[in-house]
Amino acid sequence: MIDLLLEIKQDNLLMQIEPEYIFLGPKTKKKPPSPVKRVRRAFNTALKEAGIEDFHFHDLRHTSASHLIMRGASMKAVQEHLNHSSPTMTNRYAHLSDKFQREQVELLNGLCGEEKSRKK
């Protein structure tokens, strides 16, 4: 039992909960922050330390969709990954970088060059 209580106390320290409490609830009037709050707090702290402004936790969904599409994931796979009900919503999330768009144009340019050389 002591080992279990020590483990709980260690978990509380890792979650930045008041270390003197092992059992949290109505009597102590202290509740641990939810996992979502802990992640958001860490995210916001990291943004502040990095000097990044005007970036929000939800923006990570857009970033994820964009990078998945640019790395070759299918729109359907990204739609399911983000739990979107329609491809239209996924299209709103996937923003292609300028570099990626230039690379796509170069693919077409290469195709046109191959066509010209075949006709000769």
In degrees to the nearest 10, what's the CA dihedral of 59, 65, 69, 75?
Answer: -150
Distance separating alpha carbons of residues 116 and 79, to the nearest angstrom: 39
HSE value, Cβ hemisphere, 13 Å, CA-based, for 19: 4
**Residue 30: strand, helix, or coil:** strand
Distance separating alpha carbons of residues 89 and 31, to the nearest angstrom: 37
Average pLDDT over residues 33-50: 85
Q: Indicate yes or no: pTM above 0.75.
A: no
Region 36-58 average pLDDT: 90
Q: What is the pLDDT of residue 20?
A: 55
